[in-house]
Structure 1
Amino acid sequence: MRTLTPSISVLRADNPGPMTLDGTRSVVLRAPGAAACVVVDPGPDDGIHLAALATAGPVVLILITHRHADHTAGAPRLRELTGAPVRAADPEHCHGGDPLSAGEVIEAGGVRIEVLATPGHTGDSVSFVVTGADQEPVVLTGDTVLGRGTTVIAEPDGSLADYLASLDALERVGDGRLGLPAHGPEIEDLGAAVRAYRAHRIERLDQVRAALEVLGTDAGVDDVVTHVYADVDPSVLPAARQSVAAQLAYLRRPGGA
């Protein structure tokens, strides 16, 4: 486990891949001198990883950034190991705890955790603004902003309109502050990263508009993917397809183009 700040430690799961980059990062929150801790995103159902998180305890709360299995699959077992309730925005992934609410403030492990609704990657995505007595706020972004690469707008409830609004929210709280994504390295200035993300999304939207001018306004997702993403690694084409579907939905919404 690697210490990032006096109140934040990170443990990377052994689940690398095209979508998880070098693996899912579980985060342990505990202010200096605090007995208990909070775990954010237990990660996959990996016994070694979960045992390491449990021994960092006592764990009093488990938080989830969003529903994808590389973040949530280990939550039931970590609850068994620790007895800690699991809280997420999606009630389906809550175990012994209430769903998270936007704007809610949680005090646990000696730190202050503000819940920031950041839908877009998925409908239930949240970020956490973590403040300890020893530090400036650090923003845990889940998959909404990654340490490298870009985020897929995931089916079935990902939304580009929501995602762009979430980037605005993250820019407001993250300008000049450390961002801690669930995949990839830390982000020194989250606000700067968000602005780069937004510029990339706008560039991709322009490319999709240009593709529709060539292919016709009724062109399907696969035709647009072939036209716009011809140069990407085949392993990420499924993610590209999901993002193109979201881009087309965004452009085809009333007044969207």
Structure 2
Amino acid sequence: MEKLKVLRIPIPTPTLWPHTSTNCYLIGNHHESLLVDTGYNHIETRKVLEQSLQENNMPEPKHIVLTHAHPDHAPGVLQVANWSPIIYCHTYEKQAIVEAISPYSAVKTVNDGDCFQVANHEIIFLHTPGHTKGHLNLYIPTEKILLAGDNILSEGTTWIGKPDGDMTDYLHSLKRLQSMEIKTIGPGHGQWVENPQKQISFVLERRLFREKQIQKLLFEFKQLTASELTKHIYQDHIHPSVFEVAKRTTEAHLCKLIKDGEVQVHDDYYMIKS
């Protein structure tokens, strides 16, 4: 079996601080290739991808997998539409993907456990919701590589929240990844993660820590808004540009705690359920 190339292609994007690029991944050999994610819809996407294909002697991908529909991952499809690729996404993400890459419309859906062959290597699609409802990960068993989209970053943690993030789903997805045999993680942003289980555990423990921290603050202050909670949690230690997504993550924790019967809300104020 010919050696499979799995290449991380960082494309400069105006994504969330502290990251300055979105990772796309080329999988294949000099006969065929698959692209995972495409960054923003700007000319830099096309230039970087074309240069990477040329440098690595790989053909234009006829198949592109989008992990999710966010603007730093999906709309770059429009920059490579002349390749006439088929776009793959999870069934739950299709509507958002179609909107993100319109007017390009060659979209097919996959579900958890579906497989795809690239250069005689099996690629397994994993439905890993939480960051979005239809978030996809890709697992390459022969290499024990996980391409994690925005589930795992090389630095810090991803945000979970509106419009379709779900903290309960995200925790379940992280626990699923914990149970897998993974040698390396290709994150949505940042360098390769060479200590995958340590990083997954870090993210899971951070989310559980935040949940307990929110409960503790609500016990102490009796009632707080999501903005007030976020300010207490971070105490001006985060970049102002990410405060809104930090607040959304706080809200996602609160939604989970409401579903769990631990917290209630009234007039935008959250409190421990009596």
Q: Does 1:151 align with 2:152?
A: no
Match of 1:220 in 2: 225
Match of 2:101 in 1: none
Match of 1:91 in 2: 94
Counterpart CA distance in 1 for 2:259 and 2:43 is 45
Q: Could you tell me how far 1:19 is from its partner in structure 2? A: 4.5
Aligned match for 2:143, one of 132, 136, 139: 136
Q: Deviations over 1:60-87 (max 9, x none)?
A: 2000011101001111332x22111111
Match of 2:73 in 1: 71
Match of 2:217 in 1: 211
Q: Could you tell me how far 1:109 is from its partner in structure 2? A: 3.9
Q: Note if contact 1:150-1:197 (Cα within 8 Å) is conserved in structure 2.
A: yes
Q: Deviations over 1:85-130 (max 9, x none)?
A: 1111221325323112111111134432111111111112111002
SS at match of 1:71: coil
Q: Any unmatched runs of 5+ in structure 1?
A: none
Q: 1:111 to 1:51 in 2, by over 3 A?
A: farther
SS at match of 1:226: helix
Q: Could you tell me how far 1:224 is from its partner in structure 2? A: 0.9
* TM score, norm. by length of structure 2: 0.83
Range with bigger deviation, 223-232 or 239-248 = 223-232
SS at match of 1:88: strand
Q: Note if contact 2:42-2:79 (Cα within 8 Å) is conserved in structure 1.
A: no
Q: Could you tell me how far 1:189 is from its partner in structure 2? A: 2.4
Q: Note if contact 1:139-1:174 (Cα within 8 Å) is conserved in structure 2.
A: no
Match of 1:124 in 2: 134
Matched letter for residue 71 of structure 2: A
Range with bigger deviation, 243-252 or 109-118 = 109-118
Counterpart CA distance in 1 for 2:181 and 2:68 is 19
SS at match of 2:212: helix
Q: Any unmatched runs of 5+ in structure 2?
A: 54-58, 99-104, 264-274
Aligned match for 2:170, one of 163, 166, 176: 163
Pairwise CA RMSD of aligned residues?
2.0
Matched letter for residue 221 of structure 1: A
* TM score, norm. by length of structure 1: 0.88
Q: Deviations over 1:121-175 (max 9, x none)?
A: 11121110024xxx52200000001011111003111111000000011112244
Counterpart CA distance in 2 for 1:103 and 1:76 is 28
Q: Note if contact 1:119-1:126 (Cα within 8 Å) is conserved in structure 2.
A: yes
Matched letter for residue 142 of structure 1: G
Match of 2:257 in 1: 251
Counterpart CA distance in 1 for 2:88 and 2:259 is 33
Range with bigger deviation, 239-248 or 50-59 = 50-59
Counterpart CA distance in 2 for 1:226 and 1:174 is 38
Counterpart CA distance in 2 for 1:244 and 1:233 is 16
Counterpart CA distance in 1 for 2:20 and 2:189 is 7
Q: Does 1:236 align with 2:242?
A: yes
Give the number of equivalent residue pairs.
245
SS at match of 1:67: coil
Counterpart CA distance in 2 for 1:48 and 1:197 is 31
